[in-house]
Amino acid sequence: MSGKTALYDSSVFLEMEGLDDPILSGPEPNPFWNKKRFEMAWSLPVMSKILDNEYITLQPMRTATRDELSLFHDISYIETMELFGNTGTAFSARFGLDTDENPVFQDMHIFAAYPVGTAVDAILGVAEGKFNNAMSFFGGLHHAMESRAAGFCYYNDCAIAIKKYKEKYPGKKVLYLDTDVHHGDGTQSAFYDDPEVLTISMHELSMGFFPGTGRPEEMGIGEGKGYSVNIPLPPLTDDFEFWRAFEDIVVPLWLAYKPDMVFWDVGADAHLSDPLADLMLTYDTYHRLSKTVHQLVHLGERKLVVTGGGGYNPVAAAKVWTIVLSNIAGIALPPTIPPEWIKLCHSHGLKMPRGGWTDRPTRIDEEHYSKIRRAIDEAIEKVQKLIFPVHGLEK
């Protein structure tokens, strides 16, 4: 094992034409597929000089092959994606395409295939011992279904990478941890009957909130019953309540399952500044999460792949992913945010209220606290009742 963390170089991704398509950069730009978001995220670790560290190895992103895509996706869907990428417009409703969330734009199919090829290389590179662990900022597209795009996701890099790993290493166990604010429904569906993949999703669940799934009762079928774990969180969940659910559910299940590989879809959209969600996490939780995940991985097989996931405040997403990268690589962050990055924020019209890697702690308003705590209690109790016995754990 090299002892290095592989980070997948996003330069080629950012140099492609397509993200400036008028469809994407109109009066209300697509929250995910917009160049400003990607540029802000990639420039922070570059300007912070983290990538100069000897413990980081930059690896090239690449597009997935058709054979790799077909490990999860239906071939008719893949062909339609390619057609749309060449400005075709057939069968849009059937495949969830040409919507506000999943628009058709120039080279869409190539952009969508980059995170997949990258995730495959990451998981196989870690499995083979080429890297200590690996991270891809622009992955974690967990809503894509077998034959349908959804929630900004065209191809499901998480599901395909795990399936490729299982194909090469049969019998190995994978823990898929999803802390994106939205339920990891597409990845859950890919392994809903498979006891060799334990999917755990911590996400907001409220009336009208996308995708509307992810209740504790969704626990798998057949041999996979008890291996799909959902921890729904109410709006306004703060650091303390989030962490209570993580320690009471995720940690004991992780230790009992003893995975051979861990695939973590981080998501920066549970941060309190995200415009598309209602949780109240601060950067402190992402510091703690990445350090704890790193610790738990090192108690086991020491194999970890991380993808960025969602995050629609470009400043918060860039900070969260850079924090996670530094912690899994064991690299200290610089004391302050680089001035040139703050200048870049201002040039894009983005607010940068603090120049450090933390934000102010928050507390739930007293009038909401009892309801939120009760909802978290109920979620923990349901998961412990439904899932823990399958894994030999007591409530």
- Which residues are catalytic, by number? 143
**Residues 75, 197, 137, 164, Cα dihedral to 10°:** -50
Picking from 267, 244, 251, the residue whose alpha carbon sits closest to that of residue 376 is: 244
CA dist 354 → 64, 262, 357, 364 (Å): 39, 33, 8, 22
Report the alpha-carbon distance of residue 156 to residue 280 in Å, rounded.
27
- Considering Cα of 184, then 152, then 140, then 357, what sign does the dihedral take? negative
DSSP for 84-113 reads HHTT--SSTTTTT-SSSSS---TTHHHHHH
In degrees and rounded to multiples of 5, residue 230 shows phi and psi of -125, 130
* Number of separate helices (H) and strands (E) present in the chain: 13, 8
Report the alpha-carbon distance of residue 204 to residue 235 in Å, rounded.
6
Any idea which residue has 């960025």 for tokens? 308
Picking from 44, 40, 35, 36, the residue whose alpha carbon sits closest to that of residue 16 is: 35
Pairing of strands 304-307, 133-136: parallel
Burial of 310 (0-12, 13-18, 19+ CB in 10 A): buried
Report the alpha-carbon distance of residue 127 to residue 125 in Å, rounded.
5
